[in-house]
Chain A
């Protein structure tokens, strides 16, 4: 991808490149793009990539001077009139030149910025009224998260009718550009995707460029921990309340233009996990266990979320549950016990007593029956069933539950999904399971769905290497790097493969 980008990186000059614009809006530049029948053939140093014509919106060649080369009769006529295409319109060449120069300059700046910000020491600090942001993201990407946090804060304080104490101070929000830097700089372990440290007022998460939606889920989830902490800075919410509510708000949607938030949406990944558990009666979590637990694994999040969803979506409980939520931290007559590090919390039996008292329910079994009924009747998968299973697979893979992740991804595929994200996700897990044949098959399918999916090319290379085809594997890894020279993971994979190949050679093949 983006030969121009490379050229800019190296020499800061604009070199001629062919441009391809996909229907999904992505724009790529390469040395050579040739139209062959209905399709487009991209020629790279390590091979050719065929992009189906059906996925392409437009494509242009460029001259040595950087001008475009018309391909169709209509384009030739427009070019003869001194017009050039820009953002779906035909504009004068002089204006086009200025726009291209400005665009290239902007992109050069972005690329340099991205390169520099790979290292945390070059992170950017942005102060707002309520937060201190530290990040290594490209500026436009960061702007969205900054707005999101500000909107979330406004929404949260209005929703709970609270005004955090000015003594609470500013929270530092650290946003990392990838998982590796999150783990090293943030010190987080394997299955952690984000965390909030109440004592230090410090929130950390990373942006997954392959799954923006999940990144936002994580941001809302951890953001909810941070905002809940603002209700009472000395209070630590019991596990199911804290995580269940964080998951509930984690599934929010927001409109970047209006800054509005929509809550109470279905956490599709969690729902798929929950439904899987729920169908087997022996695996159903007892409410008595949930409300008194001190902590549970990945599956527990789904149960906690569904219970909060049930209470906040059921008119007879909604208001009282909100009172319960605030009351845990603030009300009188609540038996709070030290939790360590200066925090107070409420322990299992007291949580249960308060829940029943606030909800005006006599016994936990009645509440459990209603909750189960709600899961069965109201919480349902959306029409896009494949996306739900895919998200469930993604969530499970992050938590290291690989067998479940494979199962969910495969269900999405069996239901007809040809989403490259799903196909790639499944292929990746099959390779980890030491099944390179199947990994190769689905990585190829991912490429059939998205010819320019660099990581799917990378995975094909890795699978071939695992099958012993070192030369072809290395070629595809290098091809993947050409397609996306900015993807760190591909660089790592290539370095590892080169190291492996070197060892094989040293050992005489």
Chain B
């Protein structure tokens, strides 16, 4: 519990509410009055532009809309430190084997932010008001944005940009147009209230916008011990940053393998952690043999409401990189472990577990097995630390319909050459569950475990051939690029020969790599099938298929 104490301590320093309804941010150096009852939304610690988000207490329903539309009003504070303008350009960092390429193109101002992050606007928009004024000795630009076209319902965004010597703060209020009038005064109070306070930390300086490409932390060159240490360190770093950035009302709760950062009901969080532990225990038991690698602790974000989850995920930075992700869970009304939140949680935890336990295997699993396992784990229901696989009625009925309509693929075909587009998620899920339960007998006894063991072997063999081919393609591309550097691009006016846009060198290289990857995948699928199921006769296949149909029906 020591971590919780540290977390709360940091909160006291950096996000302490000075008085009721006032939000103080000593990292960015501002304070602002927040409407009564509005919640402060958690944001990823890697967020570098949006300083704060607040969510209205009531969900508002649109009166004008093409269908049912409802939204909580939101207030954001976005910071534009002037110093960031100097940080333009590409930056390559090589630190301890981790190569990161960042394209730095900081937002020039609020208008640039709106243009480039138009996802939050949600439709065709225009600035209906743009006026200058002065408040408390500093310049303020007042904007109003009307979102009227190709939107689910019209919105209004009212923003005041407060200009200071070192930073501009945009206070942005977004609301359904139908409710704007009733909130105008409330917004005005908040918009006017922004003021500076002393900073206790330097202004956030990382000015990365756009994509961030993490080229890789090359774990393959590490010993298992080094890998374990690297993973532990990364987890601790990430957790520390995230705990530092937690707003008021959030807490930390731990179990053996997971840390939940939550603002949901404590009981719900406890149940989410218990479910995660049960899933982990099932994974260890069923798939513990697939590799020796260390699986670090995982971070789960448990939100009280869907809006808070959306606010968290909707920032300018949200990376889904390997090993860096957090699993998001939302407490739904009357939350029960039979709701889809827990299904999603189980599937994500399984993917995380497999990728840490045996990364090569997790990246090279044939579609039917990868998707099937995901579906199988979605059906995990937990009780007293144990998992029971129990598909819900909807999935069961969908599977029955597929069988009834004669659209189910024979199992042999699925295992031997199944293409993603031919299979439904219901069937692959059902088949995996079958193999791990009723089908786990006779000639298919321990079939999943044997299939995985064979996969590991085959992947290792195929990986060698693939890596060789990949090195060849990359070398070829490198030579072509070097040859290209010397002179101009070959220009041609011959347009008749070209039916479609010719691929660029990078695209050609990508296509070749894709082809090599496909060759590898096809070989893995065929060989793993042969080694695991090669001894089954036609009669065995018929019987197996019939057994599965009975199971699924």
Give residues in A with beta carbon < 8 Å to B: 119-121, 174, 181, 183-188, 197, 199-200, 202, 204, 341, 402-403, 406-407, 410-411, 430, 434-435, 437-438, 467, 503, 507
Contacts and interface: CB of A to CB of B under 8 A. Distances in A.
Contact of B489 (A199, A202, A410, A435): A435
Contacts of A186: 124, 149-150
B500 interface: yes
B68 to A, nearest CB: 12
Given A181-B126, A407-B498, 5 more contacts: A121-B128, A183-B124, A184-B115, A187-B125, A437-B491
A175 to B, nearest CB: 13
Contacts of A174: 149
Contacts of A204: 149
A121 B143 CA distance: 12
Considering the complex of A and B, which 7 residue pairs feature the smallest CB-CB distances, nearest first? A187-B124, A187-B150, A120-B126, A435-B491, A407-B495, A410-B495, A403-B501
Contacts of B406: none
A403 B88 contact: no
A184 B67 contact: no
A403 B497 CA distance: 10
Contacts of B442: none
Contacts of B67: 341
Nearest to A181: B126
Given A121-B128, A185-B124, A188-B150, A406 B495 contact: yes
B183 to A, nearest CB: 21
A184 B125 contact: yes
B489 A184 contact: no
Contacts of B500: 403
- Count chain A CB atoms within 10 A of each CB in B125, B493, B496 and give the residue with the most: B493
Contacts of A185: 124-126, 149
A394 B88 CA distance: 36
B493 A184 contact: no
Contacts of A438: 491-493
Contacts of B489: 434-435
A41 B150 CA distance: 49
The majority secondary structure among interface residues of chain B is loop
A121 B495 contact: no
Interface string B163-180: 000000000000000000
A343 to B, nearest CB: 11
B502 interface: yes
B502 A403 contact: yes
A503 B87 CA distance: 12
Contact of A119 (B88, B127, B488): B127
Given A341-B66, A403-B501, A437-B488, A202 B149 contact: yes
Nearest to A402: B501
A492 to B, nearest CB: 13
27 contacts: A119-B126, A120-B128, A121-B128, A121-B129, A174-B149, A184-B125, A185-B125, A186-B124, A186-B149, A187-B124, A187-B125, A187-B149, A187-B151, A188-B150, A200-B66, A341-B67, A403-B495, A403-B498, A403-B500, A403-B502, A407-B495, A407-B498, A410-B496, A430-B491, A435-B489, A437-B488, A438-B491
Contacts of B491: 430, 435, 437-438
B504 to A, nearest CB: 9
Nearest to A405: B495
B19 interface: no
Contacts of B126: 119-121, 181, 184-185
A503 B105 CA distance: 12
B89 interface: yes
A475 to B, nearest CB: 22
Interface size class of B (residues with CB under 8 A): 20 to 34
Contacts of B150: 186-188, 197
B499 interface: yes
Contacts of B315: none
B409 to A, nearest CB: 26
B35 interface: no
Contacts of A467: 488
A5 B232 CA distance: 68
A179 to B, nearest CB: 13
Contacts of B89: 503, 507
Nearest to A502: B88
Interface in B394-432: none
Nearest to A438: B491
A403 B127 CA distance: 37
Nearest to B126: A120
Contacts of B129: 121
B203 to A, nearest CB: 23
A455 B196 CA distance: 47
A197 B154 CA distance: 14
A120 B129 CA distance: 10
A260 B252 CA distance: 74
A503 B127 contact: no
B124 A199 contact: no
A435 B492 CA distance: 8
B123 interface: yes
Contacts of B123: 187
A184 B126 CA distance: 7
Contacts of B88: 503
Nearest to B65: A199
Contacts of A188: 124, 150
A199 B66 contact: yes
B482 to A, nearest CB: 18
A403 B151 contact: no
Contacts of A200: 66
Contacts of B502: 403
B499 A403 contact: yes
Contacts of B125: 184-185, 187
A61 B197 CA distance: 64
A135 B127 CA distance: 15
A197 B489 CA distance: 45
Nearest to A121: B128
B405 to A, nearest CB: 19
Contacts of A435: 489, 491-492
Contacts of B499: 403
Nearest to B150: A187
Contacts of A437: 488, 491
A374 B498 CA distance: 29
Nearest to A123: B126
B372 to A, nearest CB: 31
A403 B125 CA distance: 32
Interface string B98-138: 00000000000000000100000001111111100000000
B141 to A, nearest CB: 15
A202 B129 CA distance: 23
Nearest to B490: A435
A179 B470 CA distance: 43
Nearest to A340: B67
B377 to A, nearest CB: 34
A435 to B, nearest CB: 4
A199 B88 CA distance: 44
- Count chain A CB atoms within 10 A of each CB in B149, B488, B492 and give the residue with the most: B149
A439 B123 CA distance: 36
B552 to A, nearest CB: 31
- Count chain A CB atoms within 10 A of each CB in B125, B126, B492, B498 and give the residue with the most: B126
Nearest to A183: B124
